[in-house]
Amino acid sequence: MKPATEPTTLTGASFEDLVREMLVRLGEDTQREGLVQTPERVRKALQHLTKGYAEDPEALLKAALFTEPYDEMVIVKDVEMFSLCEHHMLPFFGKVHVAYIPNGRVIGLSKIPRLVEVFSRRLQIQERLTTQIAETIQKVIEPQGVGVVIEARHLCMMMRGVEKQHSAAVTSSMLGCFRKEEETRQEFLSLIRQRPNGV
């Protein structure tokens, strides 16, 4: 298909102009009905999918810290996660499991999924996302330890490259007692494997 317009200069171009330029370079007609509003839609979508850059993960947790003598493992598992791979800007998605053992302070439970969202709404790689979640919890509340496991499927593997449809990547970050004590680590891994019906 012949491009509808000649490529424009990109200096001082708006986000929408850049998307139109990309569509032209792909060989599309940016004036056809289905694409007229696409540049604006892409801008809004990417702003939403990368809104984590404008959020402070440490401030998020500090706003919901509570003094509590509880010292057993706290787990929030099966947190849905959607992110964009920084290599191809294609989605990867899956489940995040987070555990920590308090050391005098606990986090409001809803803040853990929010923390996952702050870091996942950025251009990411799964390995860094895993460590960022764990290290932020460790830094802010100084628990006895933190464990994070992410299981995810990557469209850059499923749609291009090796095109393997059923492969999943699993990453983990274990800090404090989760790294030092095998029993603690195994308890966490055992509990996140359990399904809702207990098996």
Question: Catalytic amino acids?
Answer: 85-88, 126, 154, 156
Helix (H, G, I), strand (E, B) or coil at 150: strand
**How many angstroms separate the CA atoms of 197 and 199, rounded?**
6
Query: Cβ(101)–Cβ(145) under 8 Å?
Result: yes
3-state secondary structure 136-156: HHHHHHCCCEEEEEEEEEEHH
**How many angstroms separate the CA atoms of 70 and 143, rounded?**
11
Read off the tokens for 109. Answer: 């439970």
